[in-house]
Structures are given as C-alpha cells and as structure tokens.
Amino acid sequence: MTHAADDFRAREYDVFVSYKRLDADIRDILIAALEAAGLSVWWDAKLQSGKWRPQLAERIRSTKLVVALWSEQVAQKPDEVADEMSAARALDRLMALKTDAAAIPGVYGDENFMPFDGWDDPTQRATQLAAIVAEVRRRVDAPAFVVTPTGATATIPVEFGDIPGAPPRLVGREDEMAMLRAAWESKPPQKVNAVVLHALGGAGKSALLRTFANELLAAGGGGARRIYGWSAYS
C-alpha cells in the first residue's frame, strides 16, 4: 500500500503500552520491536507536565490499541495497569500479553492473552515478537510506510507524534526551507549534522519542520532511514 506524504500529517499513535515500572525491561523490548515495524508508540515517558491521569485517559481514547503487559508484578498490585486495561477493554482496544505464569483474573476470561513469556530468551523472543507485531498491525490496520514519488520507491518509518501537521501551503519561509535543503544535501567535509531553529512560540517552527519532512517523503526520503519528530511542548 502506498501513501502520499500528506497521509503522515498529524498521525495519532498506533499503540499505547500499559505496564508496571518493574517490567520496564520487557517494555523496552516490546517498544523497540513495535517501532522497528514502523508503528508509533506512546508510553508514560511521553507524559507532559501537569496532571497525569487525565493525560493517560485521553491517550487511551485517542490511541488505536492498548497493549498491556500482564505479569506477576501487575497481578500483585494492579493499580493503574488494571484501570488502563479496563478502559481499553470498554473501547474494544485491549491486547494483553502474558509475560510469566501470573494468574489471569476471571474478569478477563474472554480475552486471549498472547504469550510473551519468552522475552528474556533470544530465540523465543523473536518468535513471540513476530506474532505480537503481526497481530498489532492487524488490529490497528497499519499501512506500510511507503512513499512512492515519480520514478522512486521508499520504505521509511515515520513518527511525528503530536507535532502539528504542515499547513496546505507554507508562506514566507522560502529562506528557511532553502537553508534546510542545503543542510540536508551538504556533504563532507562541510557536512551539516545539526540545524537549530530558534524562535518564539507560535512562530511556525513545527510547520516548517513538517513541511520539510513531507518534502523529503515526497522525494522518496532523500536517503533518510527514519523520520522522527518530537516536541516537549506538543
């Protein structure tokens, strides 16, 4: 399935990962596999300042699928994980992974908990992750991250998170766009590795970056292997 660059504007997250802090190692393995498959993932490390409970509730409502890690740690003290699983289940967006021999509460008797108990064994991990990623992609109806410009084809993982999308037409930023293009196309020994955009809030930094990223996508990626955007204020 192919997509134009505009299909990636202001994407919602594909997956919300619910977990217990003591299971952070398992979380990291899961997130790495999901992101490597081109899926956009949200977890509590991306919380903004302010009250966190409303943010979690809103994320569950706006994310396509909640993947919960069920473990002995969770079974002993479910706390927020149980609340997140319950909210996701009510929306028919819950996918639970069983990471060990912890008993599953009767309330989840009709849920198929996928096995992820081989997370610490490289062979089992690869097999189980392949099944998990395939099921996640099916559940979120994830498209292949493919941009097909004239005469070229590129497959590029893209995540812009909550950064606002580019406007239909960017006006008055020709010099800045030229600077970004020149930096991207520069080569050693004068290769530019970092560009700082400094301006007041609302000046259009996000719009500029999204427009430039969409231009790269429309050109087949311009040699990029991944395009990632994140802002502490979005």
Report whether 38 contacts 228 (CB < 8 A): no
Instruction: Give percent of the chain with pLDDT exceeding 90.
Output: 29
pLDDT band at residue 165 under the 50/70/90 scheme:
low
Contacts of 39 (CB under 8 A, 6+ apart): 14, 15, 133, 136, 137, 140, 142
Mean pLDDT across 202-224: 77
pTM: 0.58
Distance, in Å, from the CA atom of 126 to the CA atom of 204, rounded to the nearest integer, reads 43
Report whether 128 contacts 13 (CB < 8 A): no
What pLDDT was estimated at residue 4?
42
Specify the domain boundaries for CATH 3.40.50.10140 within the chain: 5-140
pLDDT band at residue 229 under the 50/70/90 scheme:
confident
Distance, in Å, from the CA atom of 44 to the CA atom of 123, rounded to the nearest integer, reads 29
Contacts of 230 (CB under 8 A, 6+ apart): 161, 163
pLDDT at 2 over 80: no
Cα 3 to Cα 11, 15, 146, 206, 214, distances in angstroms: 13, 20, 6, 22, 11
Q: What CATH code would you report for 5-140?
A: 3.40.50.10140
What pLDDT was estimated at residue 70?
94
pLDDT digits (tens, 9 = 90+) for 45-76: 887 777 888 888 888 988 999 999 999 999 99
